[in-house]
Every structure is written in structure tokens, then in C-alpha cells.
Structure 1
Amino acid sequence: MSDTTMNPAVPEPAQAPADLPPVPAPQLPAPAGARTGFAVRATASVAVAALLGVGIGLGVLKAEDDGPAVSAAPAAPSASPTASAGPSFGAKQNGSHFGSMKDLLLPVPAGYHLGPDSGQFGNDTELTEEQRKAWVEDEVRGLPVKLQDGVRKAWQESALKGGGVRSLVSDDSSLQATVWLLQYHQTAVKAHDAWVAALGSDSGLYRVGPQIPGHPEAHCFLPHAAPGAEIDELECSAAVGDLRVVLGVQGIAPLPKDRIVPLLAQQLDRLAVPGASA
């Protein structure tokens, strides 16, 4: 994977005939639905194993004590009796996150603007309860019918408590990124992420993507691309307490690692659990 900045224009042949039109720049495809992980894009058997793996033993898990709310950076002392007593979003010491998903999501960084909708969920959304149910159905849809009830039950038992999505496009239109935050039981988050990491690194279905300095919990993979393909894609997954973070990227090949890595690193830094060691 190249570290060079991508050029959104495809160069014309050195001596193109004068009567031929110029070669157009490749267009980034629109997001294909709301899929949020390689675990649900791979072969049906592997996808089912990953999703059912999340549900193993969830029926006997007990609710965790949320503990006191503590942000990664302590709040400044109150300037007046009416000032807020604490941060509006952040992480507690036990790994549970609080606050709006739109606040927990990485704000639109410099050099980017909001991108296209991620399926039916929009481009800058905190999912409602109904949308979370729809998200589960999207994950189940397409699997063999005889397995759908088991996968659906696994997601129901993992109690998707929150979800958010933000879509970004670089100002030069060469890179499109979609960030998903999915909040459910910490044990299930960790198990699901482990399945995705194993699928990406051990199955041979994907190319290994870049590492994220300071965040060994993050795993990035790329599907195998046809030789000479103009568009490439990458997906990263990470478990941070009770949040699973999924970053999907599409762009003109070769994807620029030096632009993608900071996006995920900044998102993970925003969600950091107080006292956690990298």
C-alpha cells in the first residue's frame, strides 16, 4: 500500500489521438447499503460463524455496573454553581461510553465534508431504536433462511444499545470514508471484533491493511483487487469498551495510508477509556 497522496485524475496516454475524448476520472461508488464489517460481507458460512460467535453465552451474561462517569480528560472546575458538573460525552473507567453517538463520532476533520448516505441511515445519524432494529435486519438479510433466526437471536441477546454513522468525503473527492459506532455488551463487542480480526488475517480472503500506531486493538483489511483496478477499498475494526468502531474507506487506488491512519487514530483517541494502556 502506497503512502503517497492519491491523484483523483487518471492520466491520459502520452500521445492520445486528437479525435478521442479525454479519459474521465474514476467515480467512487455509492455505499452499498449499511453493511458494517467484513464479517457480514464474506462467504455465508464464515459470516454466520462470526455473527453466531457474538451470541455464544450472552444469555447468561449479567448487566455490568456502569460506575461513575469519567471522561478521558478531566473537566475544568465549574466557574459557577450553574455550570455543568461533568462532560456531556466520554468513557467511564469500566469501558462504558455515555453521551450522544454524534458527539462520540469523530467531527468532520479539515479537508473533508459530509458524504453520501450509508444506505437508509443517512450520513450523520444517531440511530433510533427502530433504526437499530433495521440495522440488525440488514445484517441478517442475505444469509441462508435456515440460519437467519439464529443470527437474529444472537443480535437480540447482544442488546444493541446505540449506534451512529458519519460519512465523509475528502475535498478533492478522491477518498470516501464511513465511520460506524455500535454499542452493545463489552464481552460481545470484544468477541465480535476478534472474529473479524481472525477472518481478515487468517482466512486468506483479504490483504492485511495498515497498523494504527498506539492502537493495537485496531485491525485493517482490504479485499483482493483485480490487477489495474482504479478503485480500492479498506475496512478497519476496533473494540473500545462497549463500542465497536468500523471504518470503511473507498478511494482511487492506491489508497493513501498516510490519510487513512489518522482518521481512525483520531476516532479511537476520542473514545479512549480513562486509565487504559495502549
Structure 2
Amino acid sequence: MSDSDVIVPGAPAVPAPGAPATATPEVPAVIPSDVPPAARPPRRLLRAGGATVAAALVGVVIGIGIIEVRYDDPAPATAAPAPATVPTPTATATPFGAKSNGNHFGSLRDLLLPVPAGFGLGPDDSGFGNDVELTGEQMLAAELDQEVLPLPKEQQDKLRKYWNDLHVKAAGVRTYTTQAGELTISMKLRQFNQQEVQKLNEYTAIFTGETGIFRTGPTVPGHAEAHCYLLPAPPSAPIDRLECSAAQGDLLVVMAVEGVAPLPKDRIVALLAQQLDRLAVPGASV
């Protein structure tokens, strides 16, 4: 026997030709050691704004069962035959949704509204990509830099401290565009402390209410927590812009819309309502 062979303990003895079965000692069976191991599933990677993000950051695997059966002794000759079929375990858990306390679980990419009929994935949002989940650090490093650059140094420091104190856990981004390209929508989910999510959403409602800076936007039926407003624009502007904000537990939903004027507000509001329904507490549709 060579060093490249592996002994399997407990293998049956092999009798020599013409000799009694009891006269020959057991000869261990061997298995070549060069049998290739079973292939392991490759790790999935996600690219966000040029950076590669491990899929372990964005995915939750539920309902996979591994059953290992061992036999210490050979089965007797009279053993009953194994059943023809084995029941397959059924996964009953939801891979994403909301807990009873309002905190969401699962990938933010799963929580984002899937691309609806009549739309496709849109352009990259601020260099992040058009369908991506970011860690809190990634979101702050990229998006916050863009927000504070136009501000004086003192205000930049205050805004950075405010966002850092929120301890943002993650952010999900998905963009949608119509086939003709006349309407583009960006949907963002920012996950952090529920109380701060609510405060920030209320601040948005007050700031965009009766200040005279923004135009009043449409309401979202069944979602009083949603606030929409139109950005300043002259009446004859060919392009119009609308933004909406809503609080759902530990998620702040921000929708930004740009399209040919006049915007199809009913269609836009319907998409936002679908997104908020998906984040409903408790649970979410699959």
C-alpha cells in the first residue's frame, strides 16, 4: 500500500482464494487520496461605485437545512427498504421584513421596491450604482461629502457630526427609469435609530410645508407619514423635480424624481405607496 492511499476503518475483510473465510485476517479497503473534493459554491460579490462589496453584507440565507446520517454498523440483511421519496424541508421564514418593534431585518436590496412593470433600472445615483446596498461608513464617506462641499467649513463640521451621531447602519439605493427615459426615480433606504428617523422626517415635513421655498407636492393615500414637495422651478421649465420622505420604523425612505414636465404625480405616488407597503410593520411582502 502506498502513502497516497487512505485506510477506511471498518471495511469488510477479503478472503484469499480457496482459504476458509475465518483463516484470513481483515485487509483494509483503500480509497485513492486524489479523489477531488466536492465543489464549494462560489462567493457572490456585489460592485458598488467601483468598489467590490461581499454579498455577506447584503444577504440573509434562511431555510437551508443540512441533514447528516451516519451508520455505525452494517444494516442487517432483513432491514426494510428505504422509502422511495424523502420529504423536503419547507422554509417558512421570511428572508426580510420588519420585527414587531419596527426594526427591519434582511437585505435592504430585498426591502427596496422591485423594478415595476414599465420601468427598468435607471442610471447610477451619485456614483453608488443603480441597485446596491452600502454600509453606513460607505454611505457617509460618499454621499455626505457631496452634501457638505457647498457649505462653509463650520457648517460642514456640524453636519458631519450630526450624521455621525446618527450611527447609520446601512443604506440601500435603487433607481428606475421608464423605457422612453422621460422619468427617472431614485429610491433610498437609510437605516438608523427609529427616534432619529422620525425626527428627521418630521423636520422635512415642517421645512417643506409653508416656507414658500418649495412647491406643495402630492399626498400619498394611506401613508400620512409621507411628505412630498416640488423643487423650485419656473412655470415654463421643461424638466420638473419632486422629492418625498417617509419614516418606516428604523428606515428613512427618500424618493427623488426627475422628469419631463408635467410630472405624472399619480404614477409616482403609486410607486411610493408600494414601497411603503413593502416596509409595513410588522412584516413585508415577498
- The answer (yes or no) to whether the contact 1:121–1:131 under 8 Å persists in 2 is no
Pairing of 1:178-217 with structure 2 (within 5 A): 178-217=186-225
User: Following the alignment from structure 1 to structure 2, what is the Cα–Cα distance between the partners of residues 128 and 274?
Assistant: 24
Gapped runs of 5+ residues in structure 1? 1-33, 35-79
1:251 to 250, 259, 280: 259
Partner residue of 1:177? 185
Deviation string, structure 1 residues 45-79 (Cα, Å, up to 9, x no partner): xxxxxxxxxxxxxxxxxxxxxxxxxxxxxxxxxxx
Aligned residues: 199
Pairing of 1:74-93 with structure 2 (within 5 A): 82-93=89-100
User: Following the alignment from structure 1 to structure 2, what is the Cα–Cα distance between the partners of residues 192 and 199?
Assistant: 10
- The answer (yes or no) to whether the contact 1:175–1:251 under 8 Å persists in 2 is yes
Residue 151 of structure 1 pairs with residue 196 of structure 2: no
User: Following the alignment from structure 2 to structure 1, what is the Cα–Cα distance between the partners of residues 149 and 226?
Assistant: 27
Residue 117 of structure 1 pairs with residue 124 of structure 2: yes
Look up the SS of the partner of 1:236 in the other structure.
strand
Letter in 1 for 2:103: S
Larger Rg: 2
Deviation string, structure 1 residues 2-42 (Cα, Å, up to 9, x no partner): xxxxxxxxxxxxxxxxxxxxxxxxxxxxxxxx9xxxxxxxx
Partner residue of 2:242? 234
Q: More relative contact order in 1 or in 2 (CA 8 Å, sep 6+)?
A: 1
Q: Which has the larger helix fraction? A: 1
TM-score, normalised on structure 2?
A: 0.66
Letter in 1 for 2:266: D
Deviation at 1:141, TM superposition (A): 2.7
TM-score, normalised on structure 1?
A: 0.68
Partner residue of 1:15? none
Quote the sequence identity (%). Answer: 53
User: Following the alignment from structure 1 to structure 2, what is the Cα–Cα distance between the partners of residues 157 and 233?
Assistant: 30
Look up the SS of the partner of 1:163 in the other structure.
strand
User: Following the alignment from structure 2 to structure 1, what is the Cα–Cα distance between the partners of residues 133 and 158?
Assistant: 27
User: Following the alignment from structure 1 to structure 2, what is the Cα–Cα distance between the partners of residues 225 and 143?
Assistant: 22
Gapped runs of 5+ residues in structure 2? 1-48, 50-86
Deviation at 1:93, TM superposition (A): 1.1
Letter in 1 for 2:198: K
Deviation at 1:130, TM superposition (A): 4.1
Deviation string, structure 1 residues 246-271 (Cα, Å, up to 9, x no partner): 11111111111121111100000000
